[in-house]
Amino acid sequence: MMIAIPDVLNAEQLARVRAIIDAAEWVDGNVTSGRQAALTKNNRQLADDSPVAREAGGIVLDALGRCALFIAAALPAKVLPPMFNRYAGGQAFGAHIDNAIRIRGDFRMRADLSATLFLDDPDAYDGGELAIEGTFGEQRIKLPAGHMVLYPSSSLHRVEPVTRGARTASFFWIESMVRDDAARRSLFELDGAIQSLGARVGQGDAAIVQLTGVYHNLLRRWANN
């Protein structure tokens, strides 16, 4: 399942993140790349263990914790501390699939979902689309600053060359309580239907109570955390 999540960061949070990272030292993005990714990756990153990345990442994590749509869609068990990258001057990242296991020091997790949180508005740069291969073909994503796209880490994806301006983003991975993407999608759709129906008939309605029980029993059956 791929989903765009609007306004993960509000204007104040976005300004705080940009103030922190724009003044920081950026390094070659391949410091965090595996051998295969290094063949196609050309960008700049903040060092993931830097105080600046931790401070800015903390703002992102706090915002995610208050984002109901993210929680409903991802059902997160673990979130890798957010990282930050920048593309400019023709830089790009060729087609690749993210590593299945992400390790940061003693922190280890399975990458079920990948996230890109855009930190520049689309009119600030040309190119830079996140192209994701999915069940229904290729989707090309370029969202407003503060908006995020969430998609399966098993997807083939790439970042198109940035030919004007700069594309800055936060990126990270999520281990979901529900490993199977189809099961996670079904739970997300069921949750959405319950919330929509509940808004019309009231959360105390007997059918809503029953459907909520079905949701939680399915989550209990499919969760592996």
Cβ proximity of 86 and 124 under 8 Å: no
Between CA 6 and CA 146 the distance in angstroms is: 7
Residue 185 labeled ligand binder: no
- For residue 168 the two structure tokens come to 């800055």
96 is in an annotated binding site: yes
98 annotated as belonging to a binding site for a ligand: yes
**Residue 90 CB neighbours (<10 A):** 11
Task: Give dist(CA 8, CA 11) in Å, integer.
Answer: 10
State yes or no: 28 annotated in a binding site: no
Known binding-site residue numbers: 96, 98, 157, 167
Known binding-site residue numbers for 2-oxoglutarate: 167
Known binding-site residue numbers for Fe cation: 96, 98, 157
